[in-house]
């Protein structure tokens, strides 16, 4: 298992020969750049711990034919992150991402550069304050597949904005584009989802969905009918919503569940 832990400006890495990284400090705009290249099939954990107001750009380059199973965890107070994924021919990337940061401005760019490149991007986030996500997927080659799943839960002063755009230019044939965006809002604050599809090619399969609401009342009824009080039932549903579809092991799920439990204490 490869692991890169980034604590503000410090990097701790445990990597085998399939992954290399390089961290360059502050360009003119004060943004640190973490560049990661993946050569062989592998799994990797990428953990960001932002104690202070750090600006970071992460570039992840996945070579041809490589399968990458990536778990990203972002924790801390304030995060301004630009993450760019570059996928070459026949590469296949599964991103399972959990954000637990008070204030987030995250800009994600997914570049499907090679034929048959495929990504499943699965973001789970808990909002205590303002979270803004811009997620852009470019299908720049034919037969590319993107499955973008964004799930967020708003509690306390939380507000979430998902601005999700998928682009298929003319000439990128037989692409499969899918977006699913869902926010469970347990506050009276405003949440926004903008699911955009910009398709300039006829031969494309595309779908998008957006849903904002409270926890499902029928699910609550089912749990409560077994004697679980409303608050505990809501918490169970939130935990299920944030961990259910993630491709991660039980230890990581338990870690997420512990963090969610902390908010109910």
Partner 1 sequence: MHVLRIVDLCVSVDDKLILDKFNLEIKSGEIHAIMGPNGTGKSTLSKVIMGDSNYKVLSGKIFFDDKEINGLSVDERARLGIFLGMQMPLEIEGVSNSDFLRTALHNRNDDFKLYDFIKKINKTVEQLKMDKSMIHRGVNQGFSGGERKKNEILQMYMLEPNTIILDEIDSGLDVDSLRIVGENVMKYYCDNKPAILLITHYQRLLDYIKPHYVHIMKNGSLVKSGDASLVSLIEKYGYDEKLLNEGTSIIKEKRENE
**Footprint on this chain of partner 1 (rule: CB under 8 A):** 217-219, 221-230, 232-233, 236-237, 239-245
Nearer to partner 1, 172 or 181 (CB): 181
Shortest separation between residue 230's beta carbon and partner 1, angstroms? 7
Smallest distance, partner 1 to C-beta of residue 215, A: 11
13 or 224: whose CB is closer to partner 1?
224
Nearer to partner 1, 227 or 251 (CB): 227
Distance in Å, CB of 144 to partner 1, minimum: 27
C-beta of 218: minimal distance to partner 1 in Å?
6
22: tokens are 């390089």
| Residue 138: HSE in the Cβ half-sphere, 13 Å Cα cutoff | 12
CA 7 to chain centre: 19
H helices of the chain, in order, are 217-224, 230-243, 250-264
Nearer to partner 1, 18 or 245 (CB): 245
The SS3 assignment for 239 reads: helix
Q: Work out the angle at residue 99's Cα, subtended by the Cα atoms of residues 237 and 187, and round it to the nearest 5 degrees.
A: 50
Helix (H, G, I), strand (E, B) or coil at 13: strand
Min CB(121)–partner 1 separation in Å: 18
Tell the smallest beta-carbon distance from residue 224 to partner 1 (Å): 4
CA nearest 69: which of 52, 100, 92? 92
Separation CA 212–CA 21 (nearest Å):
38
Nearer of residues 132 and 245 to partner 1, judged by Cβ: 245
Distance CA 257, CA 265 (A): 13
CB contact at 8 A, 230 and 223: no
188 or 217, CB closer to partner 1?
A: 217
């Amino acid at each position: 298992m490869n692991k890169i832990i980034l604590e503000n400006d410090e990097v701790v890495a445990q990597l085998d020969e399939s992954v290399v990284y390089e961290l360059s400090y502050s360009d003119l705009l004060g943004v640190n750049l973490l560049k990661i290249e993946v050569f062989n099939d592998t799994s990797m954990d990428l953990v960001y711990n932002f104690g202070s107001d750090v600006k970071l750009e992460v570039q992840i380059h996945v070579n041809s034919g490589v399968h990458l199973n990536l778990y990203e965890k972002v924790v801390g107070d304030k995060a301004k992150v630009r993450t760019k994924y570059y996928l070459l021919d026949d590469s296949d990337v599964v991103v399972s991402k959990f954000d637990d940061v008070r204030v987030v401005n995250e800009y994600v760019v997914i570049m499907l550069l090679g034929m048959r490149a495929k990504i499943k991007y699965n973001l789970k986030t808990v909002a205590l304050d303002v979270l803004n996500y811009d997620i852009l997927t470019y299908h720049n080659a034919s037969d590319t597949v993107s499955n973008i799943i964004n799930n967020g839960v708003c509690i306390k002063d939380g507000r979430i904005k998902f601005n999700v755009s998928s682009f298929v230019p003319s000439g990128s044939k037989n692409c499969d584009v899918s977006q699913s965006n869902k926010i469970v809002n347990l506050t009276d604050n405003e949440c926004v989802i903008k699911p955009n599809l910009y398709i300039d090619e006829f031969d494309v399969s595309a779908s998008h969905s957006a849903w904002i609401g409270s926890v499902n009342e029928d699910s609550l009824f089912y749990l409560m009918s077994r004697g679980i009080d409303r608050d505990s039932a809501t918490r169970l549903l939130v935990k299920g919503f944030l961990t259910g579809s993630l491709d991660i092991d039980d230890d990581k799920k338990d870690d997420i569940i512990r963090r969610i439990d902390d908010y109910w204490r």
